[in-house]
């Protein structure tokens, strides 16, 4: 089955990922839907352990072999979840680029930076001469604001700072002109100034090349003014999603409020200071709404029935009490 032209760049439907561990099944992703248009940025946010990486790795077949994946992920007319490993490899580093939290995992410590970018360029264009690929690698480094690229191309990863290494990892991810870029916590290991530069670089690339980007982060604040859409993930499900500004304004789900309240903020009167505790292990999920043990608005029914996403003022929210929870107070 294929999709008609004019479909979104990426359409994920009812994606589920279950890991088998010695203690039983771990339902890390429990049925998520995502839609991304070309040229748009989708922020996927949630605390550590909510299933963000497992979901994105599933799209590229990068979860460990024991993982069971179901659902659909339509990308350019094909369901990524149904492709043969060989076909999926063609997408990886080709039409889909991935940038990870730790750039060292994308770099080989014993090869020079310029050679590694050139190798990524040659991966999908095997007939390109080595010299040409190297020239393109240096051009790409310059475009990603790596100063003195000719000299730096001859250096090794350990001779680069964390921020520079992340630029190189981005160069490798975009070397073959991907249409979709998945950036999984690309700045978590970096200091705040470098973090801002890298995010700016990713946003520029996305806008200039008309790519679609999924930007994964545990920091909701990072997405303000950057992402077009936000999907908030908790315990393997999306609990709130919509246009970024509307999600920030409505904070319809208590978890979103908690995430926003955990940020250093100007507007402190949001009704929830920060969320206590941590997300449940997917091996031991609470009954009902998985957020109920931490939720200040929880009532009896929250412990028995799981809420589903429903439209509430322009934003989809999965909360039994979405009508009853007062809108956040704003500082005058
Ligand atoms: N290979 C695996 N085997 C078993 N459990 C896993 C595996 N990978 C991830 N998990 C579990 O799945 C859950 C989601 O993990 P992950 O997707 O990495 O979360 P996030 O990226 O949101 O921090 C976590 O509880 C994690 O422990
Ligand atoms: S369903 Fe209940 S526990 Fe879950 S977020 Fe809403 S109020 Fe809180
Ligand atoms: Mg992760």
| pLDDT on residue 3 | 58
Residue 77 is given by DSSP the state T
Q: Does residue 237 register a pLDDT over 60?
A: yes
Q: What is the mean pLDDT of residues 318-327?
A: 90
Tens of pLDDT, residue by residue over 187-219, are: 987 888 888 999 999 999 999 999 999 999 999
Residue from 15, 30, 51 to probe ligand 1 pocket by mutation (most atoms less than 8 Å from CB): 51
- Ligand 1 binding pocket includes 21 (Cβ within 6 Å): yes
pTM of the model: 0.93
- Nearest in space to 43 (alpha carbons), one of 184, 235, 163, 166: 184
Q: Does residue 308 register a pLDDT over 90?
A: yes
Tell me the Ramachandran region of residue 96: left when phi exceeds 0, alpha when psi lies from -120 to 50, beta otherwise: beta
Is residue 63 helix, strand or coil? coil
Protein residue whose Cα sits closest to atom 11 of ligand 1: 28
What is the atom index within ligand 1 of the atom nearest the CA of 185?
21
Q: Does residue 256 register a pLDDT over 80?
A: yes
- Ligand 1 binding pocket includes 51 (Cβ within 6 Å): yes
Distance CA 230, CA 17 (A): 21
- Ligand approaching nearest to the C-alpha of 44: 1
Q: Does residue 270 register a pLDDT over 80?
A: no
Distance CA 175, CA 169 (A): 10
Report residue 160's pLDDT band, with 50, 70 and 90 as the boundaries. very high
User: How many CA atoms, within 13 angstroms, populate the side-chain half-sphere of residue 24?
Assistant: 6
Q: Does residue 4 register a pLDDT over 70?
A: no
- Nearest in space to 7 (alpha carbons), one of 42, 37, 40: 37
Cβ-based burial of 77 (10 A; exposed 0-12, middle 13-18, buried ≥19): exposed
Is residue 52 helix, strand or coil? helix
- Ligand approaching nearest to the C-alpha of 285: 1
Q: Does residue 100 register a pLDDT over 90?
A: no
| pLDDT on residue 267 | 45
- What residues does CATH 3.40.50.300 cover in the chain? 37-61+180-264+273-332
Q: Who's near 134: CB < 8 A, 6+ residues apart?
A: 114, 115, 118, 153
E-strand spans in 129-208? 180-184
Residue from 26, 282, 290 to probe ligand 1 pocket by mutation (most atoms less than 8 Å from CB): 26
Protein residues with C-beta less than 5 angstroms from the ion ligand 3: 53
37-61+180-264+273-332 has which fold?
A: Rossmann fold (3.40.50)
Distance CA 32, CA 71 (A): 9
Q: What is the mean pLDDT of residues 306-318?
A: 94
Protein residue whose Cα sits closest to atom 3 of ligand 1: 19
Tens of pLDDT, residue by residue over 25-35, are: 899 999 999 99
What is the full DSSP assignment across 275-293? --S-PPPTTSPPSSSTTGG
Beta carbons of 17 and 73 less than 8 angstroms apart: no
Q: Who's near 277: CB < 8 A, 6+ residues apart?
A: 293, 294
Q: How far is CA 31 from CA 42, 132, 269, 276, 298, in A?
A: 18, 45, 33, 26, 23
Q: Who's near 22: CB < 8 A, 6+ residues apart?
A: none
Q: Which residues form the pocket of ligand 2, taking CB atoms under 6 Å from any ligand atom?
A: 253-254, 289, 291-292, 295, 297-298, 302, 307, 319-321
Beta carbons of 186 and 178 less than 8 angstroms apart: no
- Ligand approaching nearest to the C-alpha of 188: 3
What is the atom index within ligand 2 of the atom nearest the CA of 320?
1
E-strand spans in the chain? 10-21, 24-36, 41-45, 68-75, 78-79, 96-99, 180-184, 212-217, 229-234, 237-243, 310-312, 315-317
What is the full DSSP assignment across 89-105? HHHBTTTEEEE-S-GGG
- Ligand 1 binding pocket includes 28 (Cβ within 6 Å): yes
Beta carbons of 236 and 27 less than 8 angstroms apart: yes
Q: Does residue 264 register a pLDDT over 80?
A: no
Which pair of tokens denotes residue 78?
């094909």
Q: What is the mean pLDDT of residues 166-177?
A: 93
Distance CA 47, CA 271 (A): 20
For strands 180-184 and 212-217, give the pairing: parallel
- Give distance in angstroms: CA of 237 to centre of ligand 3: 14
Beta carbons of 217 and 50 less than 8 angstroms apart: no
């Amino acid at each position: 089955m294929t999709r008609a032209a004019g479909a979104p760049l990426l359409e994920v439907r009812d994606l589920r990922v279950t890991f088998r561990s010695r203690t039983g099944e771990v339902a890390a992703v429990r049925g998520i839907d995502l839609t991304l248009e070309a040229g748009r940025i989708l922020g996927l946010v949630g605390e550590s352990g909510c299933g963000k990486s497992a979901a994105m790795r599933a799209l590229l077949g990068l979860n460990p072999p024991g993982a069971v994946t179901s659902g659909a992920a339509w990308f350019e007319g094909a369901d990524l979840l149904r492709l043969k490993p060989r076909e999926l490899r063609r997408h990886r580093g080709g039409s889909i680029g991935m940038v990870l939290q730790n750039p060292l995992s994308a770099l080989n410590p014993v090869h020079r930076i310029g050679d590694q970018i050139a190798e990524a360029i040659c991966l999908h264009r095997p007939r390109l001469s080595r010299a040409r690929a190297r020239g393109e690698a240096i051009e790409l480094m310059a475009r990603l604001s790596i100063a003195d690229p000719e000299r730096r191309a001859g250096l090794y990863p350990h001779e680069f700072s964390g921020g520079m290494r992340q630029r190189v990892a981005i160069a490798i991810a975009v070397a073959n002109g991907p249409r979709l870029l998945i950036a999984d916590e690309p700045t978590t290991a970096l200091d705040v100034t470098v973090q801002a530069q890298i995010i700016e670089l990713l946003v520029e690339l996305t806008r200039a090349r008309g790519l679609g980007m999924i930007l994964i982060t545990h920091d909701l604040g990072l997405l303000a003014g950057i992402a077009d859409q936000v999907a908030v993930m908790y315990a393997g499900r999306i609990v709130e999603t919509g246009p970024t500004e509307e999600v920030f304004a409505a904070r319809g789900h208590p978890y979103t409020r908690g995430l926003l309240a955990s940020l250093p903020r100007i507007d402190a009167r949001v009704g929830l200071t920060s969320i206590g505790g941590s997300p449940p292990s997917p091996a031991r999920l609470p009954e009902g709404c998985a957020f109920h043990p931490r939720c200040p608005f929880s009532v009896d029914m929250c412990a028995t029935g799981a809420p589903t996403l429903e439209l509430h003022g322009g934003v989809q929210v999965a909360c039994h009490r979405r009508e009853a929870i007062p809108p956040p107070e704003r500082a005058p």
